[in-house]
Amino acid sequence: MAITDAPKIVTARLGYTDSHTLERYLATGGYEGLRKALTMTPEAVAHEVDTASLLGRGGAGFPAGRKWSMLRKTAITYLVVNGDESEPATFKDHLLIERDPHQILEGVLISAYALQVTQAFIYLRGEFALGLERLQEAVNDAYAHGAVGADIFGSGFSLDVVVHPGAGAYICGEETALLESLEGKRGFPRIKPPFFPAVYGLYNEPTVVNNVETMANIPWIITNGGAAFAALGAGRSAGTRLFALAGHVRNPGTYELEMVKTTFRDLIYAPVLGGGITGGNTLKAFIPGGVSAPWFGPDKVDLPLGQDEVGEAGSMLGSGSVVVMDSSTCMVRAAWRITKFFARESCGQCTPCREGAGWLERIMYRIENGDGREEDLDLLMDLCDNISPGVAWPPQQTTICVLGPSIPSSIASGIRMFRDEFLVHVKDGGCPFD
Amino acid sequence: MSRTGGAPLTDESAEELTITLDGRTVVARTGELLIAAAERAGTYIPRFCYHPRMAPVGMCRMCLVEVDSPRGATLQPACFIPVADGMVVGTTSEKVKKAQDGVLEFLLANHPLDCPICDKGGECPLQDQTLAYGPGESRFVEEKRHFEKPIAISDLVLLDRERCIQCARCTRFASEVAGEAQIDFAGRGELVEVATFPTEPFSSYFSGNTVQICPVGALTATPYRFTARPWDLDQVESTCTTCSVGCRVAVQSSSNRLTRLLGIDSDPVNHGWLCDKGRFAYESVNGDEIDASPTEAALADVEVDVAPATAAQVVSLGVSRGQFMGEAHETGRFEHGRLVEPRVRKSGELVPVSWGEALAAAAAGLEGARDAGGPSAVAVIGGARLTNESAYAWAKLAKGIIGTDSVDAQLGDGLPAELVLGLPRATIDAACAAPLLITLAGDLREELPVLFLRLREAVTGSTSLIEMAPTPTALTALATASLPLRPGEAPLVARALCGDDAAVTELTTHPEGSAIDDAALNVARQALAGRPGGEGVVVVLGRPSYAESGDVVAEAARVLARALPGATFLPALRRGNVFGALDMGLAPGLLPGRVGLESGRQWFTAAWGAAPEATGLDTAAILSSMAGAAGVTALILLGADPLSDFPDRAAARQALSAGHFVVAVTGHPSESVDAYADVVLPCSVAHERPGTSTNIEGRVSRLGQKLTAPGFAWPDWMIATELAAALGADLGVSSANDLADELRVTAPAYFGLTPAVLHSSAAHDGILLPIGAGDAPRADVEPIDPIALPGVESVEQQGAPPRSGSAMGDGVVQDRIATLGSPPALLAGVPASEGGDGVHVPPADNYALRLVSTRRLYDAGSSVTGSPSLTPLVPPLVVRANPYDLDRLGATTGDQVRVRSARGDLVLPAQADDGVPRGAVAIDFNVPAGPEAPGNAVAILIDSRSPVTDVRLESVG
């Protein structure tokens, strides 16, 4: 395994300081994919994306092409782009939004053309002030350039794009909560079935919801062909992906890497990537796909960065956020901190998540602060089981949406992998890392 | 499919399919929710958030069951997923049990276990389900979530956020059912709370329903809070008679005091909902303990909420926003806010006497009048709050024994009785299922609130609404077309609607031009054109304004009835049992059983021995006769207070002050009784007597007796029999059961209404009369939402029990009917107007404004003024006018203006209101305006001698 010389698909332009401007975008081949797509039939564009085997980059990893073709049985009304990236340690969309908004927009335009929708919404995390400014500016410039609006580039195809900022709730990154929020309602996830966006989406109309990074891949796929994209990576995991590397590494940051051909070891240790663990410490554990995902120990470090490979090992590549925890990390505190996030961000709609997250957080806090009991470990696991029966991956759930089964991941990983560390907290009456 | 749609109740006509439920094969219906299908099959799935009358949300997760899918069995909320043919469902597996136990444990984690001091304790679904499903002990050792509590989210409802389990029943009720999204969730995670909007209180007329459907003690109602423990309550099933909709209720009491009313789900009527007036006005029955001599300080302290109200305050009716503004009256004569002793006026004072003395005095006065002026010298006003049986007794006394036809249960605020009973009648269900609904009424949310809820549901669905109302109503925003009615214009607007272009032109001759928008009229006409002959159209017919004569509306109704022969009518008269009273003949020209005087005279002469010879007077004519030289010289008031009830206060005052003999049969003190009654006969009131009542549809349902009447109060029917005896006659009955037996063989529309029928399980929703005319009764009496009605299984089916071997068995009944001859036909068809050529409204001039007066839910009626919780809700009285007309006066909102009519004048704050048409002003009916104008202030202005009342606005100071 090695770091491949795969082309930079979504980060090619980021070396320029003015990468977010229309001028730079046009000077670097911008909107050529759109021009090409407009000469093709919508079906041919969709077919190209299907050929590319582009998996959604939001976390669930559903094939984008299949999502589109599944929907094409009924006319689709809206395209909604999910830019509500707000999970701790996940910051890859943030980069694309601030640094290359036109690329996202071009992806939206091509996708909209393939889906033959005339209205698209980009839902942006409310805290992305600069991102909002740049994306809105990009939309305005693209309108002026004739790339958005009526009769795009004289093709007869029209699309309006609305950028809508969120109001600070993590749950609105869940696609159905996002749709509720976009409709002006409280961001409560909808129940699936039957509220799959493809069937009952925005304003109850069939809707495609795609992630920002997914959209950013589309122009390259159309320009270079789906087959060229599919040739990268391996198995179901085609192309490249952005990995947001965080935690105890020398070079945290966002890296675009060819999928499967690269391993977690490459990502964490390669001098041009993570550059190894900080402070001469050793790797204790890492989270392979965002704080919703079960943790991996050092034994999994040679796993390739592939969706199925990580899935089969019991976790997920998820949002592409990799959090590295070194030997100085208190696993109880780490799990508590993540649980606290979910307790705060549970939308409060359904009981197991609303009440369970708060309860789990209180217990974790007690253990970390020296008031733990040995039986708390079984209690934690049982409460986790009441939120996510079996506490396994892929998870089952008693909740409406997947925020629920995300809560047990860190606690169950912590207890299963570091049970002794929990017991030391209980027996010593405090945190040994303090 | 929509997130806010949903079809919670099983559609019996839907196709059948089969599912496997815990290994059994069970029949379900297409579209049915799994939780409902399982329940019909005898498997109760625990739940908190699910309510069959609201769209499911699947939030509480208590109803998780295992459903087989291609990817294996998964946990699914049974309240949210519809059944599918072949669906395999498990409700008892270990996985389901663990999930449900887990949910319960989670719900209890933050729930304060303060059950011993919680009103819900003992009838709490969370408590009950914890016993049935939950783990025995809590593993939660943490500090629970804390909120300030309780917080008042309205005048009547308190919220304890710590107890809330976030089921969204209250918030869904507010937005989906009442259409008033004034409460919603705020916050995230376990800090999610039900909240009001910062600038808008939860001011719904339906707030009590949120308390009833709350599955925990999070929402409590101030009148009930801390007054009783559920296990100490005794209850009886009954019908609310606060208005005429006929909502089914469970009436609960403790120690002979009413403590609470709960709505029972009657599918054709109220769907389990009640309005807050119906729910909380029971306080006026209890009539709290009264300080006989209120101190000057207490009366002067206007800022303080005084509860319980003193009798002086109750009597003065000068109540507004918690401020008692009335002058002190002599109060020693009243106990418990109720009149409970017979009294006779001696030397100007009403003094307590024995029943014998009171009855003798009453009989002497009535006999004297009859001897001097014949039977028609005696008149009866009122009777809309009687039971059907009592109304029958009084009709028999007045029309059969005394011999007068001048009897009117309507108080100048109704419609001609023959028209109401003669028009083809619609049911509430028919109105809700109608493709096109026409309302010719005031604001139904103010007058018949639960009818409004039912119609609102229909109009938000597939029913189109053409609204004819003087000012915007709660339905206006939902209407397909709104046609504003300036006073006197209803017949013209009806003609315009039905295609008469001459009427459209005539409307434009008003100095301010037509109030009707051409576009709206065209939309309305097109909607009507889609229903040839009015087929399927339902007209809701009420009184759009009490400042115009009922004849104006009646004329408009005739226009509609003639133009739309296929239409049916739902009469929207408001008073409690006014339809029972009309059915029992308490109106001029009527006899019991929906029979006209002429056609029924022979039959009733056979039954009673006598019947009136000529058609008598209505309330307006009675009052004018009393004020004039000739005619009526003795008046019986059956729970009526003409000074406040009759729209023209001057006319009522002139009649009562003319020195004629007045007998008042009443349960509550009132201004008319106080000042003018010569004899007071105290009667029992709602919840103190069994019997039946009849609602707007003509549906008869049972009234339960929950209390023993206080003091010496008698049931109305008993007063009638004893008064008959004092007059030397025999009413021929000695119990309410006797009356029920008699009226079902003499009152034709009530034929066949046997105790067996009334007590059958099919009578759960009442019996639509005449029997066989209406809907198929619903035999299922299971509560559809057990959470809203804890313990309903124990509701007694009170009233006269069915008697086997009754002397009035079916054979006897047939014989009895045969001895009376051939029964008269029921009233049918549209009677011509009295003069035969409609109503003549004088043309509007450039200077006068036409007065509109519509009802508010909370007014100066005794049910509100006798209920300390409701009195603060009576709105302040203002005069509303179009900004254009206020501008002409140079006045703006808040300025004091004088409103002057030919009858009198009132000084009121002005309020600019675009909804009032130019050339009109609106003042609420039966709302006091302060010490100068207590009670029904606007009645000072209304001139009942004219079809409309013109007023002028003048600047003050």
B331 — pLDDT class (breaks 50, 70, 90): very low
- The DSSP call for residue B408 is E
3-state secondary structure of B632: coil
Alpha-carbon gap: B32 to the closest alpha carbon of chain A (Å)? 15
Average pLDDT of the residues in B355-379: 97
Report whether pLDDT(B526) > 70: yes
Average the pLDDT over each of A30-44, B133-147, B181-195, B782-796 and give the range with the smallest value: B782-796
Report whether pLDDT(B328) > 60: no
The dihedral built from the CA positions of residue B760, B761, B765 and B771, taken in this order, carries a sign that is negative
Q: Please answer whether residues B244 and B695 qualify as being in contact, where contact means their C-beta atoms are separated by less than 8 angstroms.
A: yes
Closest C-alpha among A358, A396, A230, A161 to residue B189: A358
Question: Are β-strands A283-287 and A253-258 bridged in parallel, bridged antiparallel, or unpaired?
Answer: unpaired
Report whether pLDDT(B298) > 60: no
Average the pLDDT over each of A1-5, B291-295, B370-374, B572-576 and give the range with the smallest value: B291-295
Contact B61 A351 (CB under 8 A): yes
Contact B103 A357 (CB under 8 A): no
B273 — pLDDT class (breaks 50, 70, 90): very high
B837 — pLDDT class (breaks 50, 70, 90): low
Contact B62 A348 (CB under 8 A): no
Report whether pLDDT(B6) > 60: no
More confident site: B568 or A65: B568
In B58-169, beta strands by DSSP E: 64-67, 74-77, 88-90, 151-152, 157-159
Contact B62 A204 (CB under 8 A): no
pLDDT at A74: 79
pLDDT at B762: 75
User: Which sequence spans correspond to the domains of chain A?
Assistant: 22-230, 233-326, 331-428
Contact B165 A346 (CB under 8 A): no
Closest C-alpha among B311, B883, B391 to residue B665: B391
A359 touching chain B per CB within 8 A: yes
Alpha-carbon gap: B526 to the closest alpha carbon of chain A (Å)? 30
Alpha-carbon gap: A344 to the closest alpha carbon of chain B (Å)? 6
The dihedral built from the CA positions of residue B637, B642, B643 and B649, taken in this order, carries a sign that is negative
pLDDT at B541: 98
A399 touching chain B per CB within 8 A: yes
A210 touching chain B per CB within 8 A: no
All residues at 6 or more sequence positions from B142 whose CB lies less than 8 Å from its CB, including other chains: A359, A362, A363, A366, B109
Q: What residues of chain B have any CB closer than 8 angstroms to a CB in chain A?
A: 1-3, 58-62, 64, 74-75, 77, 80-81, 95, 98-99, 101-103, 105-107, 109-110, 139-140, 142-143, 145, 165-166, 184-185, 187-192
Q: How does pLDDT run across A217-268, given as a tens digit for each residue?
A: 999 999 999 999 999 999 999 999 999 999 999 999 999 999 999 999 999 9
pLDDT at B317: 31
pLDDT at B802: 43
What pTM does this model have? 0.92
Task: Output the six-digit token pair for A116.
Answer: 């033959």
All residues at 6 or more sequence positions from B52 whose CB lies less than 8 Å from its CB, including other chains: B8, B9, B36, B784, B785
- How far is residue B227's CA from residue B149's CA, in Å, rounded to a whole number? 19
Nearest to A357 among B58, B60, B189 (CB): B189
B775 — pLDDT class (breaks 50, 70, 90): low
User: Cα–Cα–Cα angle for B550, B552, B553, nearest 5°?
Assistant: 70
The dihedral built from the CA positions of residue B7, B11, B14 and B16, taken in this order, carries a sign that is positive
Query: Which amino acid appears at position B754 of this protein?
Result: T
Looking at beta carbons, which residues of chain A come within 8 Å of B103? 351-352, 386, 398
Q: How does pLDDT run across B476-488, given as a tens digit for each residue?
A: 999 999 999 999 9
pLDDT at B307: 38
Q: How does pLDDT run across A377-394, given as a tens digit for each residue?
A: 999 999 999 999 999 999
pLDDT at A193: 87
Nearest to B189 among A186, A348, A396 (CB): A348
> Which CATH number applies to A233-326?
3.10.20.600
More confident site: B752 or B183: B183
pLDDT at B326: 30
More confident site: B703 or B295: B703
Closest C-alpha among B735, B639, B645, B783 to residue B339: B639
A197 touching chain B per CB within 8 A: no
Average pLDDT of the residues in A169-173: 96
More confident site: B329 or B22: B22
Find the closest chain B residue to A349 by CA distance: B59
Report whether pLDDT(A157) > 80: yes
Residue A422 has φ and ψ, to the nearest 5°, of: -65, -45
B234: how many CB neighbours lie within 10 A of its CB? 14
Q: How does pLDDT run across A326-344, given as a tens digit for each residue?
A: 999 999 999 999 999 999 9
All residues at 6 or more sequence positions from B140 whose CB lies less than 8 Å from its CB, including other chains: A359, B105, B108, B109
Contact B77 A191 (CB under 8 A): yes
Contact A352 B62 (CB under 8 A): no
Find the closest chain B residue to A390 by CA distance: B95
Looking at beta carbons, which residues of chain B come within 8 Å of A363? 142
Find the closest chain B residue to A342 by CA distance: B189
- How far is residue B459's CA from residue B454's CA, in Å, rounded to a whole number? 9
Contact A344 B102 (CB under 8 A): no
Q: Please answer whether residues B248 and B704 qualify as being in contact, where contact means their C-beta atoms are separated by less than 8 angstroms.
A: no
Nearest to A358 among B60, B95, B189 (CB): B189
Report whether pLDDT(B836) > 60: no
Number of residues assigned to chain A: 434
More confident site: B783 or B93: B93
Nearest to B102 among A186, A349, A352 (CB): A352
Average pLDDT of the residues in B427-446: 97
pLDDT at B798: 42
Kind plus residue range of the DSSP H or E element containing B681: strand B679-682
Find the closest chain A residue to B79 by CA distance: A191
User: Tokens 């927009």 belong to which residue?
Assistant: A105
3-state secondary structure of B336: coil
A354 touching chain B per CB within 8 A: yes
3-state secondary structure of B626: helix
B773 — pLDDT class (breaks 50, 70, 90): low
Kind plus residue range of the DSSP H or E element containing B679: strand B679-682
pLDDT at B887: 94
Residue ranges of domains in chain B, CATH in brackets: 16-92 (3.10.20.740), 343-414+578-771+810-819 (3.40.50.740), 418-571 (3.40.228.10), 849-955 (2.40.40.20)
Contact A351 B143 (CB under 8 A): no
Report whether pLDDT(B324) > 90: no
Average pLDDT of the residues in B436-441: 98
Nearest to A204 among B2, B165, B166 (CB): B2
Nearest to B58 among A383, A386, A400 (CB): A400
Closest C-alpha among B464, B500, B456 to residue B482: B464
Query: Which amino acid appears at position B944 of this protein?
Result: S
pLDDT at B295: 39
Q: Please answer whether residues A389 and B75 qualify as being in contact, where contact means their C-beta atoms are separated by less than 8 angstroms.
A: yes
Find the closest chain B residue to A404 by CA distance: B189
Average pLDDT of the residues in B694-720: 94
Nearest to A359 among B140, B184, B188 (CB): B140
3-state secondary structure of B880: strand
Average pLDDT of the residues in B875-899: 95
B784 — pLDDT class (breaks 50, 70, 90): low
One DSSP character per residue, B779-846 reads ---S-S-TTTSTTGGG-B--SSPP-TT-TT-HHHHHHHHHHT-SPPPPP-S-PPPTTSS---PPPP-S
Q: How far is CA B800 from CA B241, B508, B740, B810, in A?
A: 19, 59, 9, 17
Average pLDDT of the residues in B410-438: 96
Closest C-alpha among B307, B366, B313, B315 to residue B339: B315
- The DSSP call for residue A12 is T
Q: How does pLDDT run across B215-272, given as a tens digit for each residue?
A: 999 999 999 999 999 999 999 999 999 999 999 999 999 988 999 999 999 999 999 9
Find the closest chain A residue to B97 by CA distance: A386
Q: How does pLDDT run across A347-371, given as a tens digit for each residue?
A: 999 999 999 999 999 999 999 999 9
pLDDT at B320: 28
Q: Mutate which of B47, B60, B61 to test chain A, going by most A C-beta atoms within 10 A?
A: B61
- The whole-chain average pLDDT of chain B stands at 88
Q: Give the distance, in angstroms, between the CA of residue A170 and the centroid of all CA atoms in the same chain.
A: 12
- How far is residue B210's CA from residue B204's CA, in Å, rounded to a whole number? 10
Report whether pLDDT(B96) > 90: yes
Q: Give the distance, in angstroms, between the CA of residue B570 and the centroid of all CA atoms in the same chain.
A: 14
pLDDT at B306: 35
A340 touching chain B per CB within 8 A: no
pLDDT at B800: 42
What is the biggest distance separating any 2 CA atoms in chain A, rounded to whole angstroms?
73
pLDDT at B913: 96
Looking at beta carbons, which residues of chain B come within 8 Å of A389? 75, 95, 98-99
Domain A331-428 has CATH 3.50.50.60: no
Contact B103 A399 (CB under 8 A): no
Which overall architecture, per CATH, does domain A22-230 show?
3-Layer(aba) Sandwich (3.40)
Kind plus residue range of the DSSP H or E element containing B440: strand B436-440
Alpha-carbon gap: B99 to the closest alpha carbon of chain A (Å)? 6
- How far is residue B856's CA from residue A210's CA, in Å, rounded to a whole number? 52
Report whether pLDDT(B498) > 90: yes
pLDDT at B518: 94
